[in-house]
Amino acid sequence: MSIPFFQVDAFTDKAFGGNPAAVCPLDSWLHDSQLQAIAAENNLAETAFFVPKDGEYHIRWFTPTVEVDLCGHATLASAAIVLRHLEPTRQKVVFQSQSGPLIVSRAGDRLMLDFPVRPVEAVELTPAIVAALGGKPLKAYKGVRDYVVTYANAEEIRALAPDMAKMAAIGPFAVTAPGTKADGDVDFVSRYFAPAEGIPEDPVTGSAHCSLVPYWADILGKTELRARQVSARGGELWLRLKGDRVEIEGQAVLVIQGELFL
């Protein structure tokens, strides 16, 4: 038996940049243990599986070790496969997931994810946080999932070498700073670390921008923002705050198309 296999780099227009995801369209669901074994074999941060249902798709995401309830970059990657390969005449696609419906639409040569906003509140910048992250953090905030810690400039963000063991004991962190000319005049840059979830550093993190966007929209007094995640692979995002939603636009590039043999 064989199933289709795609590998897509999300939030980039260049192969080998952005955040890689495996995408396996299925006719019907395989057993959970098979889905998990395939994701382990792919060994990427996430493998997305989806099955057509009533003009929409039912989507699930697996890391090499567990199923997760939401993954932005693998959803963007899945939408790229649906809208460019499987159903090239469609303008948008709805994925039904454990986290509710996720809509991805065409936006020129980009794709747009519509995600819930996750506002942040100021929290104490504790010595434990400073010790975990290093550098000279300015302020700390916390949303429903992530800590957001601010720095003075992009160079400091790039130079950070966090202590993953200390960080794992606290929680996932987005670190952020204003963008500069060197970063293509983006409004802000970020990096994202989730060692407790098995991701020391994530190359590009759509969902972290659910908290970064309301923070920067407030600071900069605008709702349309451009951002760069300055990980080694790097990624670029176009963002819009719309009430209690965040629109996240990015590019996606197909790098491998093939078949898996089970």
Partner 1 sequence: MQLPVYKLDAFAGAPFSGNPAAVCPLESWLPVSAMQAIAAENNLSETAFIVRRCDRDYDIRWFRPTDEVDLCGHATLASGKLVLDVLERGRCTVVFHSKSGPLIVERTGDGFALDFPMRKPRQIPITDEIVAALGAEPLELLEADRWVAVYPDAKSVRTLAPDMAAVARFPVRGIGVTAPGCGEDHDVDFVSRYFAPRVAVPEDPVTGALHCVLAPYWSARLYPRTNFTARQVSRRGGQLKVALKGDRVRLEGQAVLTMAGQFSL
Q: Say whether residue 260 binds partner 1 (CB under 8 A).
A: yes
Contact 164/200 with Cβ under 8 angstroms? yes
| Min CB(15)–partner 1 separation in Å | 6
Given the complex with partner 1, which of 4 and 119 has the nearer CB atom? 4
Q: Enumerate residues 1-30 that contact partner 1 by CB under 8 A.
A: 5, 7, 9, 15-16, 20
Q: Which of 243, 211, 212, 215 is nearest to 228 (CA)?
A: 212
- Selected from 29, 32, 40, 66, the binder of partner 1 by CB under 8 A is 40
Q: Which of 41, 46, 56, 197 is catalytic?
A: 46
Q: Say whether residue 259 binds partner 1 (CB under 8 A).
A: yes
Tokens of 193: 């670390």
User: Is residue 46 flagged as an active site residue?
Assistant: yes
Q: Say whether residue 244 binds partner 1 (CB under 8 A).
A: no
Tokens of 21: 């995801």
Strands in the chain per DSSP E: 2-10, 19-25, 46-53, 56-62, 67-68, 92-97, 100-107, 110-116, 121-123, 139-142, 147-150, 173-178, 188-194, 199-202, 224-229, 235-242, 245-250, 252-261
- Selected from 100, 101, 184, 258, the binder of partner 1 by CB under 8 A is 258
- Selected from 10, 21, 44, 237, the binder of partner 1 by CB under 8 A is 44
Catalytic annotation, residues:
46
